[in-house]
Amino acid sequence: MAEFDLVIRNADVATERDRFACDIGVQDGKIAALESGLSDGEREIDVEGMLVMPGGVDSHCHVEQISSNGVWTADDWFTATRSAACGGTTTIIPFACQHRGDSLREVVKEYHEMATPKAVIDYAFHLIVSDPTDQVLGQELPALIKDGYTSFKIYLTYDALMLTDRQFLDVLAVARSEGAMVMVHAENNDMIAWMAERLLRAGLREPKFHAVARPMLVEREATHRSIALAELVDVPILIVHVSGGEAIEQIRWAQERGLNVYGETCPQYLFLTEDDLDKPGLEGAKHMCSPPPRDKANQEVVWKALEDGLFEVFSSDHAPYRFDDPEGKFKAGRDAHFKQIANGVPGLEVRLPLLFSEGVGKGRISLQEFVALTATNAARLYGLHPRKGDVAIGSDADITIWDPDKQVTIRQSILHDAMDYTPYDGMEVTGWPVTTFSRGNIVWDNNEFLGKAGQGDFLPCDTPPALSAKRQPVTAFDPVTGELS
């Protein structure tokens, strides 16, 4: 009788810490052995000449979610997780989004009902808190955190979702007292609205003016404000989808002061620019996201920050709205102005290949840094490590086999989401995941999707380790405990 369910032989394994050669023995969906010359497995695969890495963890994506202006994402839980698996990602953490008036507990229940029958790979939930009532702050949030929903996102823009500074402080206090990580979409809403109103008054409606209405300073101001609010409460935060140098400067300032401030960036800020929003006709709408892509020089600033370790996480911020669909980008009509066009770009499937090709392939980051940025750091930050994001004994057998020399031209026709375009169309990458295992089950192999709807599991998250960092109170009075030192 075989000792293992699966043996992956001649593996060249890369983790965030190391690179080593071994066989990988898998039993009951977990990694049971890492050594050369393992005994037989019921199934064996020889991967000599390939790279073996943990499956990616995409900790920022929007799946089967309705936007604040009433547009549903194109991807449901099946198509999104299928696309993720085919791109080497084995865990996603999308958002259970509370709209004003909603019960958070009911929102979570609804998202489970959507995800459970469809998900191909494992998943957790972040919460989006847009209505922090006394009931939410005093009962629902603490109870949900105890149940494994240990992270939530706060918006400082979008009228239907944004919190005031006072509300933000209340949510931060709950995060500290109950043990949760807070993610922040940092843009100044009033600046954006003021600029947009004047642009439209001047007759400037095209997609390119989405970027004009959201200059880097609106992100810089909100990033600085978020850091200050978190410092007052003395709780870690993560600034999501950082687009440019001005926000980077604020995060670097905070980190150099020893504050527990983390940063995330995304493919759109390394591979797209504001010029893409100025393509002929309405084509620029395909590249609209918030914050918007910046100029070419700023693209290099983001790369440098990625290389020097400022960013903890590289996520897709997958927010897919179809282009030629009356329920997509132009639900408000083909004559919609930039404020009415659904903004967000897809990226689940190409997140890993883009960074591998340009980052590892061109020597900008090491293989170990690639693993950390795309898998291990997110798993650790959100309380899923070492179960996810690692190739280690006891970890789930979420493993990707990479052909580091495979050359691929990105086209929508080769992708597996529900979209009708990719903003990365025509980009050539070297290195592609050729096989993906989710808990030891093959879900992607040699250009064939083999996963099944409903085979993904929900993952309750532990308390994020960042919450145990040494405290740095601003004053002698602790506003969360009410104690005076």
Confidence of residue 471 (pLDDT cuts 50, 70, 90): confident
Q: What is the pLDDT of residues 92-118, one digit of tens each?
A: 999 999 999 999 999 999 999 999 999
What CA–CA distance (Å, rounded) separates 271 from 276? 10
* Domain layout of the chain by residue ranges: 55-381
What CA–CA distance (Å, rounded) separates 475 from 485? 9
Looking at residue 175, its pLDDT comes to 98
CB 263 within 8 A of CB 243: no
What CA–CA distance (Å, rounded) separates 294 from 220? 13
Question: Which of 3.20.20.140, 1.10.3720.10, 1.10.287.950, 3.40.190.10 would CATH assign to domain 55-381?
Answer: 3.20.20.140
Confidence of residue 485 (pLDDT cuts 50, 70, 90): confident
In whole numbers, what is the pLDDT of the chain averaged over residues? 97
And the tokens for 483? Answer: 């104690």
Q: What is the pLDDT of residues 45-81, one digit of tens each?
A: 999 999 999 999 999 999 999 987 889 999 999 999 9
Coil, helix or strand for 6?
Answer: strand
Looking at residue 2, its pLDDT comes to 84
Looking at residue 68, its pLDDT comes to 79
Q: What is the pLDDT of residues 420-435, one digit of tens each?
A: 999 999 999 999 999 9
Q: What is the DSSP letter of 398?
A: -
Looking at residue 266, its pLDDT comes to 98
Average pLDDT over residues 243-248: 98
And the tokens for 223? Answer: 């990033």
Q: Residue 37 contacts by C-beta under 8 Å, 6 or more apart in sequence?
A: 23
Looking at residue 215, its pLDDT comes to 98
Q: What is the pLDDT of residues 267-286, one digit of tens each?
A: 999 999 999 999 999 999 99
Confidence of residue 314 (pLDDT cuts 50, 70, 90): very high
Looking at residue 437, its pLDDT comes to 98
And the tokens for 462? Answer: 């532990």
Q: Does 205 score more than 80 pLDDT?
A: yes
Q: Does 1 score more than 80 pLDDT?
A: no
Confidence of residue 470 (pLDDT cuts 50, 70, 90): confident
Looking at residue 472, its pLDDT comes to 87
Give CA separation, 421 vs 186, 345, 456, 472, 481, in Å.
Answer: 27, 10, 26, 47, 50
Q: Is the pTM of this model over 0.95?
A: yes
* Residue type for position 373: L
Looking at residue 210, its pLDDT comes to 98
What CA–CA distance (Å, rounded) separates 265 from 78? 25
Q: What is the pLDDT of residues 209-233, one digit of tens each?
A: 999 999 999 999 999 999 999 999 9
